Amino acid sequence: MNVLSESQARTRAGVPWLIGNVVLALVSIALFVLGITNENVWQVILAIVIWLIATVIGIGFYMIQPNQAAVVTLFGDYRGTDRTPGLRIANPLYRKRKISERVRNFTTETSKVNDANGNPIEIAAVVVWRVTDTARAVFGVDDFTSYVETQSESAVRQLARSYPYDNFEDDAVTTLIGDTSEVNEDLLIELQERAIEAGVEIIESRITDLAYAPEIAEAMLRRQQASAIVAARMKIVEGAVLMVQEAIEALERGTDGHDSIPLDNDRKATFASNLMTVIASDNPTAPVVNVGTLNR
């Protein structure tokens, strides 16, 4: 396929030509008045010719705003792009199509799609883009604005299918909700590969709406809460074990080597059980004071 790339159009600054065109128009008017006054047919004809020339030149004028470009064609043949802002002039037969090169953005529709684990989720993203190759934007696709929006919708859906929403068993797996920077970077790369045919640069893309579908949201919330409780319990038990070990070692070691409390295995087990119960319990514990021996 022959890929058309942007090139510079042969155009000129319009202000000098505008001044010259105004002079031609004034000369034409003056000759026409003199011809009518003197009843000189040739002066009238010359005035009409000069006026027609000024009119044809006037057709070639056009204006370009900052961050705007004009795609120039002659009978359907691409003749280049003019990016110089201000009043410009070109061949009157040229057709000028103006393309905005300003930064644009839009938010995709919230789509319901299954993630990598098959769970239905709702996802949307914002895409920031601009036109960088006007020739491809005009001649590469039918409507570059619609093309970018459609491809963005498709890329977001593809991204959702490539990653799980969340992973409760393996922290090393990339997830949509846990690794937003990596996911957004992959979305940007995917969009840029699709948008290059339209001469568009994707400046930024990021997920703005991400949630489980309503039909499974409550179940997934309970699962997340259960996972959080299990993780918290594991952390509490891990800390409690360390505290018990340090307490037993401190009792047997003492402060200065003279007030140590040696414990046999049964006393260590009883002490560890009681201390673990106090530390790991959700509710405040009520101590029971043993006024007898350890065995009574």
The average pLDDT across 83-105 equals 92
Do 204 and 274 lie in one domain? The reply is: no
2 belongs to a structural domain? no
- Evaluate whether residue 4 is within a structural domain: no
Which is more confident, 26 or 294? 26
Q: Is residue 285 assigned to a domain?
A: no
How sure is the predictor about 99, in pLDDT bands with cuts at 50, 70 and 90?
very high
DSSP-derived secondary structure for 267-282: HHHHHHHHHHHHHH-S
Residue 80 maps to a domain: yes
Identify the residue whose tokens are 């601009």.
Answer: 130
State both tokens at 10: 């042969």
Where is average pLDDT lowest: 62-66, 231-235, 291-295?
A: 291-295
Model confidence at 191: pLDDT above 90: yes
Q: For residue 219, is pLDDT > 70?
A: no
Position 265 confidence tier, pLDDT thresholds 50, 70, 90? confident
Q: Tell me which residue of 142, 149, 146 sits closest to 126, measured CA to CA.
A: 149
pLDDT single digits (tens) 268-279: 777 777 776 766
The arithmetic mean of pLDDT across residues 222-242, rounded, is: 70
Same domain, 142 and 165: yes
The predicted pLDDT at position 295 comes to 53
Predicted local confidence at residue 281, as pLDDT: 65
| The two structure tokens encoding residue 253 | 């070691």
Split into its structural domains, the chain has a count of 3
286 found inside a domain: no
By residue range, what is the domain housing residue 187? 104-212
Q: What is the DSSP string of 22-61?
A: HHHHHHHHHHHHHHHHHT-HHHHHHHHHHHHHHHHHHHTE
CA-to-CA distance for 125 and 149, rounded, in angstroms? 11
